[in-house]
Structure 1
């Protein structure tokens, strides 16, 4: 009597996930292997079931092997996962895939239980993970010697891809995502043309002229900003809970760069109302100090310069560098150093989805030579690279960890600091999730120290990707479970919550261009009395730049149609019940925080929404 194996094959739901090619499948167990007589023709979004009768007991299943056959056209197949119900049991053995099957080679899917390098027991798993890493280190490069590339000297290294076609299909956008992204670019370009035509102006003459382009996709908060942007309280609020809450820090003494003119010593008691838009330089006269009591247009122009400077720091330092580029380093190191069986790979892989493609698009379209940043921002044309170089010195390990960063900036315990409150809550929730997974596989500190794949991954991030960042507090090795948990919490938080806090607010706070101008077209004022309406309008972005700012911030700040909320990825990388229970508790904790934030926001005139878990994407995808 034969042994009956019930096989279920799940194909991805994306466009073109199915295949017209035939696929061979066979099971490999510790006692032998058996091939399914029928050849699969995978159908998009379907879960197909097959029965394999084997004359012998295969023993404990180790692999499912796949080979796609084609004669003329290689029609790639996106396989989600394969499960097998073995004879005499109702339990299923899972073989996660979540990748494209293409070409004529054999793809081996190991049984999905997470294993450390020293826990394989059977030599077949060790050989598999070594072969997988060797292939990965070749796949994620077009330069044979390295998977890393230098985009700009002294800035975190990037995947070696000059264009999107250089990326492996497994890290590319799925078809729906690609179509939406490119449609949005075309829709934005069309909107720019319509706004240019609608204005019928060659230049701005008054602030109300910006209303001529203030239509299209807007939020309720955007309307509020439109009405209140000139108010001083509203100006200050943005640095606490706006789209860039990373710059504000508590001042305990008069800043050394703030030079007060003689006879104004009493202003030291009103430090929070003082504003100097240029730091002093010994080679030049002392910069003018601007105050709320100055002529309204002079004070407004001074605030516009501050908001413009914040725009540059937000986009380049806190958005591009501290989230996108750090997330890319994490992604490349994870693909190069951690095999699919490693528990840390299974933990991190949902949080690096689409990151390599969105960053490659940014390098080739947004911040490339002649790209959108050069066209619109006053740090374009090379200034953005200089700013990134300076920002690298401030990219410390502590700066990516909210408990340390907020303490350093003196923002702990401030009731109105909503970003700070929500970030700390999320950090703690992510830390509990990470700890729950780590403790399942690392029972002691010496197991952490003795994991060669984990240690190589840590070194790759710190020494290679982040350019010798051990000098800025990043670890080059992991010596304990606590240290590993902290480092992983930083990785997950950066790729999810921090990017959400920094990215989402662009549409709200930047759509009304005068509130946060992308560029200033005249030098900063040196006197207060000479500031006129013509000075203000001549300084703010012109019509083309304003339209471009609105279009790009809408494109980058809008909710993505295929958005996956934090912790709610559908892929089942972990197959053991304990790890699934940890993920389930993570989701429960996030739901509780969601309810807490919702209840709080109902009591606020300006709700802070950016760190609601349902609005945080599971990875850097835009």
Structure 2
């Protein structure tokens, strides 16, 4: 007889413990063990949360190189049937070899489940018939569990699930995450001390009344916003380092529908508009995706959503200052162009309409579509097409954590017919779907790849652009990890072309995420190692750094409503000289609309206690030395970047923290 030592680790998370009997079978190239009940001196405590337990398993002869294990769970007399979250199984063979079997999933019921030895294998590497069999069995099951669903025509497809409990256990929120999320969602108004305002359909009567509501829950940046929301310099700054830094672009030729002349725009420093354009100092923000969108009706009142064009100037002292605002796309007598030299409230109202447009553009395009919906496509395609043993799965699975459930909740609570966004945002309802469809149809692959995007928008040398500076460094760090890990498994382009699972993954993304639109530039297949590395870098960056950049600061910049109105209920001025503070207050959203927006932004900005930061891997899917070393280097580079960012921020009036790796979550989890 020969002895195998079996070490079983139960995850250290709430409700991971089981009192059921755990059975295992070892399967090797030269044979298999009998199905064995794992028992030792710990008794029922052997599978408590966070515990590693050792067992002995005997076989008549050696099984050879281990290929997989079979695990099942059976209820014991007098004990309830409970789910078990297993982390991993390690087996020491009689020859002294150590085999690791990553599990990291809930095991419920009594079905036998197969888990592969942890060495990463592409499909072309998996030559043993048992390996091929388990691979095929796993993918058939996954195709059933993770089905595509068309939520709305013209939008990226999502996972089919009627409610969160329909999601497979392995992709659901943890008990901790569920408890905290439901508590924050249900008590958000109370936590912000806004409950008494949630039913008021009245207008705001003065700025002080808004301040009294806002002062209940503040951040350092939201305090700054309240003090500076009227400032032109702060208005321009938000295009670089606020929550929507992806819209601004350098302007070398004025759009035909923005009839601004040199004489209209006196610039600081005395140069003309045309001269400053030639020098690269003029920038444009165009909200054309909002043009013609049917605005919402809130509290029985029609709302207003503009599609502005905003011209900005980089001044000699490196500030980005707005110099012209046209609130509608088509020039007309009743569509004046506003300038800083106009009356205080004419100019302020123009900026308020821009900031409201920016909220809607940001939430639907920059945030919902380009991070949440794409992250779900990346995740579902991975789970449908790539088995656990594949190196791509091991690399990407940490970046899918909680995404499927948070998106399901977003469709249920935010953008459904009675969702908060649908009921209280200017673009809620019909307008929302129109904007999302336009945004997807105009999306390009290059705009998702930060180095390409910055170059295409002509923003390489804009000063004080911390989103760009931190984001490009973060992109490079992620790219080095991806290049190192995937380059270890794919030595040449032919190996990429021959990997059918890899190719199915990208084909599914092209079809279900980008609706087979070739104009997006999204690859339909991978032909080279470089193409694969760039795309996987984009996926990780989108699910981590980019999502953090457009999500984490929502309450910072939106908690003070006048800076980010989620809707406006009076039309913009059609002639100059007709606005006042009273006009502004009547234009702001009603009190209940304001506080619903504040509460939602507070919820979406709040970090969970089971947050997993970028570069942290509580689940160790890789077993080989090379990826482990690369991950160590990666973690070190992230720490260096975090230190650089924190050191720089000490000297900034407004710290930029949203790309700090220590604060960036590994996945779209909120």
TM-score (norm 2): 0.88
Equivalent residue for 1:111, pick from 106, 117, 120: 117
Distance in 2, Cα, partners of 1:278 & 1:514: 17
Contact 1:418/1:608 (8 A) holds in 2? yes
Change (3 A) 1:231 1:46: same
Task: Quote the residue 1:121 is aligned against.
Answer: 127
Q: CA deviation at 1:262?
A: 11
Q: CA deviation at 1:228?
A: 1.1
Task: Quote the residue 1:60 is aligned against.
Answer: 65
Q: CA deviation at 1:285?
A: 3.5
Distance in 2, Cα, partners of 1:469 & 1:339: 27
> Does 2:533 match 1:485?
yes
> Does 2:646 match 1:598?
yes
Distance in 2, Cα, partners of 1:275 & 1:491: 37
* Range 212-221 or range 193-202, more displaced: 193-202
Q: CA deviation at 1:388?
A: 0.6
Question: How many residue pairs align between the two structures?
Answer: 613
- Secondary structure in structure 2 of the residue aligned to 1:491: helix
Deviation track 1:366-408 (CA, whole Å, cap 9, x = no partner) reads 0111210122210012211111111112211001001111111
Alignment of 1:196-595 (within 5 A): 196=196, 202-260=202-260, 264=264, 269=273, 272=312, 273-281=322-330, 285-595=333-643
Task: Quote the residue 2:26 is aligned against.
Answer: 27
Q: CA deviation at 1:88?
A: 4.0
Q: CA deviation at 1:266?
A: 6.5
Q: CA deviation at 1:430?
A: 0.6
Contact 1:398/1:404 (8 A) holds in 2? yes
Structure 2 unaligned blocks of 5 or more: 277-310, 313-321
Contact 1:258/1:276 (8 A) holds in 2? no
Distance in 2, Cα, partners of 1:63 & 1:451: 22
- Secondary structure in structure 2 of the residue aligned to 1:613: coil
TM-score (norm 1): 0.95
- Secondary structure in structure 2 of the residue aligned to 1:614: coil
Distance in 2, Cα, partners of 1:575 & 1:534: 66
Task: Quote the residue 1:144 is aligned against.
Answer: none
* Range 161-170 or range 309-318, more displaced: 161-170
Distance in 1, Cα, partners of 2:337 & 2:532: 48
Change (3 A) 1:236 1:262: closer
Deviation track 1:223-271 (CA, whole Å, cap 9, x = no partner) reads 1111111111011100111111111111112222212489747686285
- Secondary structure in structure 1 of the residue aligned to 2:152: coil
Change (3 A) 1:237 1:261: closer
Distance in 1, Cα, partners of 2:51 & 2:172: 22
Contact 2:200/2:592 (8 A) holds in 1? no
Contact 2:192/2:217 (8 A) holds in 1? no
Contact 1:376/1:549 (8 A) holds in 2? yes
Change (3 A) 1:369 1:192: farther
Contact 2:21/2:73 (8 A) holds in 1? yes
Contact 1:566/1:617 (8 A) holds in 2? yes
Structure 1 unaligned blocks of 5 or more: 141-146
Deviation track 1:446-469 (CA, whole Å, cap 9, x = no partner) reads 000111111111100012332013
Deviation track 1:417-444 (CA, whole Å, cap 9, x = no partner) reads 1101111111111110000111111111
Contact 1:199/1:212 (8 A) holds in 2? no
- Secondary structure in structure 2 of the residue aligned to 1:10: strand
Distance in 1, Cα, partners of 2:5 & 2:644: 45
Equivalent residue for 2:142, pick from 114, 133, 136: 136
> Does 2:9 match 1:14?
no
- Secondary structure in structure 1 of the residue aligned to 2:156: coil
Deviation track 1:156-179 (CA, whole Å, cap 9, x = no partner) reads 111112321221111110111000
Distance in 1, Cα, partners of 2:123 & 2:377: 23
RMSD of aligned residue pairs (Cα, Å): 2.0
